[in-house]
Structure 1
Amino acid sequence: MSIDRDRLERRLREEFGGSSGAARVVARQATDLADSGRYEADTRIRLTTEIVLEELEDAPDGGPPERWNWWIGSLEIAFGGYETFGICRYQE
């Protein structure tokens, strides 16, 4: 596994604010994406905490889930097959 879920959750809160629940759900989805191998297969780059943070930094605004969904939407447009990694709803 290339993503430490706890570390990513902590860094998401530090970088983008929001609740621990919001950061937790993004970290879980990022871990699932990394474990699926889809990102690496499409980009030939191993998904890491640093890559997730860099990509979410490019999002126009919002907390971790909004930024995550923006990035996942970009991946969906570019490659297809990423919609299952989006966040539809999370509880605080």
Structure 2
Amino acid sequence: MGIGQRFEERLGEEFGGDAGTRRVVARQARDLADSGQFRNHMDSELTTAVVVENLRDAPEGLALPEKWNWWMGALELAYGGYDRFRVVRWSGKSG
């Protein structure tokens, strides 16, 4: 089912953060899904459930963009080519 319209809402339910924080992570997730890179490496589609499951594995206490970057870092180490999907700038406020 991929990254649907409800994705940002689901990020908020699971991880909190303000609308801007959720929007920037959702944009990176959509860019990753659209690239086909995840599908090529994992032989499966990037879905909301896959993103949420992997972000739950991030260390406690990280803001949503940090959780995303943690996951992208793991994919970068394993496969390469995922640094371009990291969030490189956000306000740091995710209350």
TM-score scaled by structure 1? Answer: 0.92
Which residue pairs with 1:75 in the alignment?
Answer: 75
Which residue pairs with 1:20 in the alignment?
Answer: 19
Which residue pairs with 1:42 in the alignment?
Answer: 41
Aligned residue for 1:54, secondary structure, equals helix
Question: In the TM superposition, what is the alpha-carbon distance from 1:63 to its structure 2 partner?
Answer: 2.1
For structure 2, list consecutive stretches of 5 or more residues without a partner in the other structure: none
Identity fraction in percent: 54
For 1:47-58, list aligned pairs within 5 A.
47-58=46-57
Which residue pairs with 1:90 in the alignment?
Answer: 90
Matching residue's letter, 1:75: L
Matching residue's letter, 1:11: R
Question: In the TM superposition, what is the alpha-carbon distance from 1:23 to its structure 2 partner?
Answer: 0.6
RMSD value over aligned CA atoms?
1.4
Task: Pick the structure with more helix per residue.
Answer: 1
Give the distance between the partners of 1:45 and 1:25, measured in 2 at CA.
Answer: 23
Matching residue's letter, 2:21: A
Q: Deviations over 1:15-62 (max 9, x none)?
A: 111111111100010000000000010110110011000000000021
- Structure 1 runs, 4 residues or longer, greater than 2 Å off: none
Which residue pairs with 2:32 in the alignment?
Answer: 33
Question: In the TM superposition, what is the alpha-carbon distance from 1:7 to its structure 2 partner?
Answer: 1.1
Matching residue's letter, 2:30: T
